[in-house]
Structure 1
């Protein structure tokens, strides 16, 4: 059994499509098919059920996938640990976020502290983030909501109130708070389902007896403020994403508690590099400062 076979198998198992996997790996489909076939011959069982052009992991494949992911994670962790020892001031930090409003401040502080550390950040839905987290493919996730699991280490770093953002000429702009039931006939702008704040707001509004009516749903939370300012709709905005824009007014929500937990998540089996530990320190310092 070869390392290349395991790497190819993981890609095919995740995509369940030979052509797409070959394109992702930048190899020919013929070469990839032969590599998977040799792996199946080594194991003595088929790992996939062939359904037309698509593949589907069978019971053998699913069992082997868990072991292969763990083996490759261990090898990757070993590589990272050696890099940490040989070049402690360099390296790459892999991050995934669903709560991005505080990220620019945190990354600015981290870059000043460790200017030679490269970081790669992905803005994801909760499910996409959880998938990467379970695979051990990211150092940390900055997430809302909090996620718990046997292989996940979870630290709640901030309790973030959700506010209602309205344009300055809105009928509610003269007030400091509003009941959720008063918003049942409003038009909203928001992120798509699958993002923590959206799912939380929809759930709490449902408990108040209505479903928010959205005229815009997107993937970029930062765009919501400009849409509110343009009077396209009102929005649920976390307090950490509140801007100093004079064209927008923010209201607290009465009666119903609408707050999100922001948590720092990591895989319990993933090697935590020095850079990752320092990133955690920056995160804790930042949220500690705004909680005062």
Structure 2
């Protein structure tokens, strides 16, 4: 079975669109179509449903899981050989929704292990399980639940999440607030899929409040407090950010109830053979004191 064809199959399966896959792979679409057809002939079954939009069928989903694991093992083997050849610990690939949370432990790790190359990948939580099973990354740090199938996990931190408001906001002098009191407030938040947005949506759903009024959304959570301080709305910020030396001038208000929290979790593949560098970083992250010091 041709390795090049397998890598092309993974891209087509991920995108479920031949022309976009051909563009990403920089190959002609008819050539890519023939590659997939030959692969299906070799397996003796279609891998996609072609009625209307291209869709990965059940056989394709099963095959994809095995191909991703196989390609991941091959890449891991190449990295292991490279590490042995140069006599170093090698590299480690770490994914996270945001990197601001990791600056402290990563800085300490690099000072202790300067020869280890750390590759950082920004991933949505929804992509983490697939990337770990495919061994595209070694470790992931998530701020929201990730499907546990085939994964190992270690909790790094469980912390409250605060409502932040401009200093002149009517709620600014309060020590705590009920979610119901926020029903009509304008929110500055991250886009759908990010943990802060999912938390906000969940709090409103639990309170029977419908959808929150989001007036500003983006991909950079560190901008939330700055935009709140500018008066654009209110937002949700984790407790860790209160220790930042560069925090914006906003009022911090506790949310009544047990559900307004963030759980930071380290994940890795249950069946993966972590490199020496990955094991070192895993230990550094699990042993880091996440409750003290600036971030």
Match of 2:9 in 1: 9
Distance in 2, matches of 1:184 and 1:100, equals 30
CA distance, structure 2, for counterparts of residue 57 and residue 74 of structure 1:
23
Aligned to 1:43: 43
Q: 256-265 or 108-117: which moved more?
A: 108-117
Match of 2:260 among 258, 261, 270: 258
Given that residues 190 and 216 in structure 1 are in contact (C-alpha distance below 8 angstroms), is that contact kept between their aligned partners in structure 2? yes
Give the aligned length.
290
Once residues 107 and 18 of structure 1 are traced to their aligned partners in structure 2, the CA distance between those partners, rounded to angstroms, is: 39
1:229 equivalenced with 2:234 (yes/no)? no
Distance 1:7 1:257 in 2: 42
Q: Match for residue 63 of structure 1? A: 62
Gap change, CA 1:256 and 1:160, over 3 Å in 2: closer
Partner Cα separation in structure 2 for residue 169 and residue 102 of structure 1: 28
1:1-292 matches, cutoff 5 A: 1-51=1-51, 54-89=53-88, 91-98=90-97, 100-211=99-210, 212-242=212-242, 243-244=244-245, 245=247, 247-288=249-290, 290=292
Runs (5+) with no aligned partner, structure 1: none
Question: What is the rounded CA distance, in whole Å, between the counterparts of 2:9 and 2:248 in structure 1?
Answer: 54
What's the C-alpha RMSD, in Å, of the aligned pairs?
A: 2.4
Q: Give the Cα separation in 1 of the matches to 2:286 and 2:182.
A: 35
2:19, 2:29 within 8 Å by CA — same for their partners in 1? yes
Q: Distance in 1 between matches of 2:286 and 2:45?
A: 49
User: How far 1:133 sits from its partner (Å)?
Assistant: 2.9
Q: Which stretch shifts more, 245-254 or 227-236? A: 245-254
Which whole-Å CA distance do the structure 2 matches of 1:191 and 1:33 have between them? Answer: 38
CA contact (8 A) 2:94 2:138 kept: yes
CA contact (8 A) 1:99 1:262 kept: no
